[in-house]
């Protein structure tokens, strides 16, 4: 009899290739895990509306989104950790002076504080998603936001890191940085789920490749870095599998003995 485990998968560079395609071997492996009674979940920096199609394709209803700020267990919201709006308002004013646009994000939509900017276009288009932010500079008012995107070249986020202690800044694109609540992470979101489900650490697994996966992979006992991950990510993982394009998910699941 197979002992039930819970497995968390990052999306970009882990489940999906650089071209945002889901390898057939990955899809097949996910369904085999589910058939054997395991719980399969997603842990991503993306907003919930950015991976609806993937959740439907893989029949996954448990996920950690916004790098841990919006957590759903079996279709029901389990935990939220919104941004501090007063600090966000100040950051946005500062960013405007620096000609660094921002995009406000809640669980349903995203809105830009400027009508148009090539940093936004390049970054969002790289995700190859259907959604694109429309213009609403006051979208932050009167609602919970779980993440904001700050658009600036690499290195220019340092000034914000020094001045806005309520936030953590995680770069995901040469032109874009995730702004999340300080101390928030995929690891904290995952902890909410595994505590609710009662899984011991021996039966928790996580796969990832990006800098925003470091805390997750260093916290989960059975952690797997993709072959295409950065060295800093590989260093904290217990296992390193092949790249996503080389059937890395299937290979990794075989490595850890789940398949």
Task: Retrieve residue 89's tokens.
Answer: 């308002």
pLDDT digits (tens, 9 = 90+) for 230-259: 999 999 999 999 999 999 999 999 999 999
Q: Which of 10, 12, 209, 213 is catalytic?
A: 10
What band does 2 get if pLDDT is binned at 50, 70 and 90? low
pLDDT (0 to 100) of residue 1: 44
**Coil vs helix vs strand at 93:** helix
Specify whether 10 is catalytic: yes
Report the phi/psi class of residue 179: left, alpha or beta, with left for phi > 0 and alpha for psi in -120 to 50: beta
Q: Which domains does the chain have, with CATH numbers?
A: 6-80+184-255 (3.40.50.1000), 85-181 (3.30.1240.10)
Q: Write out pLDDT tens, residues 137-190.
A: 999 999 999 999 999 999 999 999 999 999 999 888 999 999 999 998 999 999
- CA distances to 13, 72, 116, 152 from 30, rounded to whole Å, are 16, 19, 39, 36
Cα–Cα distance measured from residue 248 to residue 259, given in angstroms and rounded to the nearest whole number:
13
């Amino acid at each position: 009899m197979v002992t039930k485990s819970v497995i968390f998968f990052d999306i970009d560079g882990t489940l999906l290739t650089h071209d945002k395609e889901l390898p057939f071997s990955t899809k097949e492996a996910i369904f085999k895990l589910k058939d054997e009674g395991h719980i399969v979940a997603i842990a991503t920096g993306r907003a919930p509306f950015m991976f609806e199609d993937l959740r439907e394709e893989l029949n996954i209803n448990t996920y950690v989104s916004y790098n841990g700020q919006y957590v759903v267990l079996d279709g029901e919201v389990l935990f939220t950790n919104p941004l501090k709006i007063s600090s966000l308002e100040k950051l946005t004013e500062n960013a405007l002076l620096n000609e660094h646009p921002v995009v406000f994000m809640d669980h349903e939509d995203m809105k830009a504080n400027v009508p148009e900017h090539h940093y936004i276009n390049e970054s969002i288009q790289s995700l190859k998603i259907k959604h694109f932010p429309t213009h609403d500079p006051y979208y932050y008012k009167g609602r919970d936001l779980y993440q904001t995107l700050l658009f600036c070249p690499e290195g220019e986020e340092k000034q914000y890191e020094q001045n806005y202690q309520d936030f953590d800044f995680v770069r995901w694109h040469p032109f874009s940085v995730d702004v999340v609540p300080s101390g928030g992470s995929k690891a904290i979101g995952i902890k909410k789920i595994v505590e609710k489900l009662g899984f011991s650490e021996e039966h928790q697994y996580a796969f990832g490749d990006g800098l925003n996966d470091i805390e997750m992979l260093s916290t989960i006992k059975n952690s797997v870095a993709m072959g295409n991950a950065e060295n800093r990510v590989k260093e904290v993982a217990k296992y390193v599998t092949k790249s996503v394009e080389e059937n890395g998910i299937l290979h990794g699941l075989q490595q850890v003995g789940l398949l």
